Structure 1
Amino acid sequence: MKYIRLNTLFWMFVFHTSCGQNQTAIKKNVIKSETKDTVTSYGPNAMVRKVKQDGNGNILIAASWDGVFRYDGKSFTNLTSKVGSHRFWDVLEDRRGILWFASTDSGVYNYNGKTFQHFTTREGLANNRVMSVYEDRAGNIWFGTGGGVSRYDGRSFRNFTTREGLSNDDLTTIMEDKTGKLWFGTRGEPCFYDGKTFTVFKNKDGKAFNNVWSIMEDKKGNIWLADNDGLWRYDGRTFTKVSQKGAFAIIEDKNGNIWTTGADEPPRIGQAWSLSRYDQKSLYDKMPAVTEIMSRGPALLGILEANDGSIWFGAVDGVYRYDGKTITDFKSKESQK
């Protein structure tokens, strides 16, 4: 396995369908299958938008039309081969060990290890284009969709749209901070929700951010926003633009360093994207020290720090791992030719 430079990309998104706002009790749509999981020694070759880790330390990889994979350190298992080919965007393991698979063409699936349950607008989901799935501290599952945000309490859905105060109905990311506020990134303006009202989040010039793809809270309680215009930090009073480079994903590692993926300039076809690390010792300097770990043609996407400290990140052609010295890809020999 080795890293290969690619020079082509399509970067397309599927847009809106319908939305709803009422709380809806669901009827179970259970899928049973005797088909065996597909297990291989290599990973997906499709665009990987999100990389997560489950409670057992396995790596979970949402790989567009290829499916959602679990990597146990030896082999890759396609967890969604039983439900067919869909455009998977995000994956989550909840506190009960249930896996959730978000797709942008067929709503959401959950998987208890034996059967799948399928959620669409028929079951009460706001929209079948789902880009984000998140569990809050109360155990509710939130879905960022193309028609608002949906909250699922295990029995029913409640949907929020611009009619309830949401800033934009096209969601990209969800994050709950230490105070319990839920932050929503959208294809328009981001906002946060305190359980009663939505508030649009604006920068120091009074202007709203746009196309916020990732929101994170660091160990000190600062809120970080990654958008097409750069990387921002908010300490509760002041906004600081940490980088002019566009940012897609953002994480804080165990040592307090900030990692991002994103375009080196406003997004355009054929431009370079980078995996970057901002040193925690200089984060508050006017010019933070940044190390470019990898630069290549588009695109570099979701990031994860695994339990062993390695950094996993998605790309247009699969998933990669950086162990602090080398970058490893997991594509088949055929796809490397």
Structure 2
Amino acid sequence: MVAPKRQSDKGAPETSAKKQKQGPPTGSRILAALDDAGLGLKKQQELENEDDAEEAMVTGRPRGAKNYSHGELELLVACMKEIAPITSQDFAAVAELYNRLANEKGFTTRGAAPLRQRFEKLQKTKPDDGNPQNKKLYEAAKAITLGVETKAGMKTLLDGPTRALHMEEAFRKILQDDDSDRTEAPSSDTRIKHSIKKSDSERSIIDLTAASSEGDLSKADDDTKAAVKKEAAEDVTAMVAKEKKEKGKGSGGNVVSKTYRHGDGKVMGKAAVTETALGAVANHLSPEAQEKREVSRINLLRESRLQDRQDRMLEEREKEISDLKKENNTLREPLRF
């Protein structure tokens, strides 16, 4: 028996049930189920929006703002070069300067931490796009990093307790030497220009008087003065000859770099002059003159030792700074402050 056809199959108008909205396709139902479970595209978009908001908070720029433009990077490099930051307070000063100039130029203001991170990324990542402007920014950032590293190294050296004591002692001695209580040997036509040699270079030329008793013998008669000068000249000549005989020509130590004329008119050439020879002359001085001569000798030794100490400190600084530069070039690490 053939089943009768339904009315709808005969071309009858659709019922109200047919006009109702059909259910979503199978794929849409799956996506809807995932959304309800918190695993679909809707939830993924919400997570992305949250990430954008968090990134905007970390980078110090409003949500949806563009990344650093070339002008902003140039401004950042200029601010870093101006301050050369080492501590966190220095980076806060960089951020303050950057934001003040950014407001004037219409750039986005940013925090100290993101500015620091962006600069480290700039000096670490070498551009490979062939853009000369990016290459220029990279080289400028590397130069600033090297300068900041040198500044930090110098600060470390100068902040050391031992070096601070050395520097304080050195400056104290310099002030003492420049003080008014320093006694200068009286000038005389019979003085010897005695050059102190160290490391093949003359450090200083000190006038040591060979017969500074002229002022003390001013009350003596001419015969006494002549006898003292003659005896002193003979003693010096004898000691010089003895030194030449023992050490030979070209001997080291303290030498007279030029000829000088003694009190009795005798001209002496290059020869070794020792403290013993000058001591023979000092025996003829009065107690006051001997005291002045001793003060001059102490000042001479102080200057020599101070110069030696300063040279050693300078060499150590240069070596440690050089080691810091070599270590930075070897590790290729970003600068950490």
Query: How high is the TM-score relative to the length of structure 1?
Result: 0.18
More strand by share: 1
Query: How high is the TM-score relative to the length of structure 2?
Result: 0.18
- Highest Rg: 1 or 2? 2
More helix by share: 2
